Amino acid sequence: MTAYLRFELRRLIRDPRVIVFTVVLPVLIYFISTGSAGAADRIGSVQVAAYLMVSMAAYGALVGVMSVGIGVANERATGWLRQLRISPVTPGQVVAVKALLASIMAIPSVAAVGVIAATRNGVELSAPQWVALVGLLWLGSLPFAALGLALGFSMPPNLIQPASMLGVFGLAFLGGLFVPVEAMPAALAKIATWLPSNRYAELGWSVAGDKAPPLGGVAILVGWAVVFGGLAALMYRRSAAQK
């Protein structure tokens, strides 16, 4: 299994274009959206520049994490997953490696937006806060890794791209990553608080506000991880049953 993980990691590093794409858009939007924010402006108790840093880092993380589904759909089509199924690597190991790779794809965007926020926008977090931010946004990306895998195991290659884009944008928008929940109409704001994307970013917003993430939010995120994980397992079994 470690050999397979190493193999996949090497492929990931070999093609950094995917990583670049997850980083460019969030950094750009962060540049534009924080242009007019003053140092004293706040959303809730968090400085605007820090709040939007988390929003954009989370958005980029979603793009990166869900991109694993695109790879899976293509590998299904080319027969690579089939080849692995007739090797000693178990399906569970393949899925675990894919989920791990997916979650790693959350980190570049968090790092890039974080660096911009710290150097250009004067966002000041303590070292433990930075560590907590990266760590939580990495761990918290697991439900999206599962969702990306579920899509990858169920969609043909020509549909996976639009499907995951719709998933990412839908979750990011409705979860309050583009428009803060505080600025949403009441009905939408209510929906937002039940979405994994909102609860995921909440991990980061809490760290930026120097608070512990609320347990209710963590529970919702874990719930989604279970739902998407189950969905991914179901879709995997369905795709494996078709020859």
Pair of tokens at residue 231 = 């969905």
Q: Which is nearer to other proteins, 75 or 202 (CB)?
A: 75
Q: Which is nearer to other proteins, 12 or 37 (CB)?
A: 12
From the CB of 82, what's the least distance to other proteins, in Å? Answer: 5
- HSE-up of 37 (CA within 13 Å, CB side)? 23
Position 226, amino acid: V
Give me the count of residues in the chain.
Answer: 243
From the CB of 69, what's the least distance to other proteins, in Å? Answer: 15
From the CB of 85, what's the least distance to other proteins, in Å? Answer: 6
Q: Which is nearer to other proteins, 105 or 220 (CB)?
A: 105
Contact by Cβ (8 Å): 64, 33: no
From the CB of 155, what's the least distance to other proteins, in Å? Answer: 18
Q: Which is nearer to other proteins, 79 or 216 (CB)?
A: 79
Q: Which residues bind other proteins (CB under 8 A)?
A: 3-4, 7, 10-11, 14-15, 75, 78-80, 82-83, 85-90, 240-241, 243
Spell out the residues 6+ positions from residue 221 whose beta carbon is closer than 8 angstroms to its own: 140, 143, 196, 199, 200, 203
Euclidean distance between the first and the last CA atom of the chain, given in angstroms as a whole number: 24
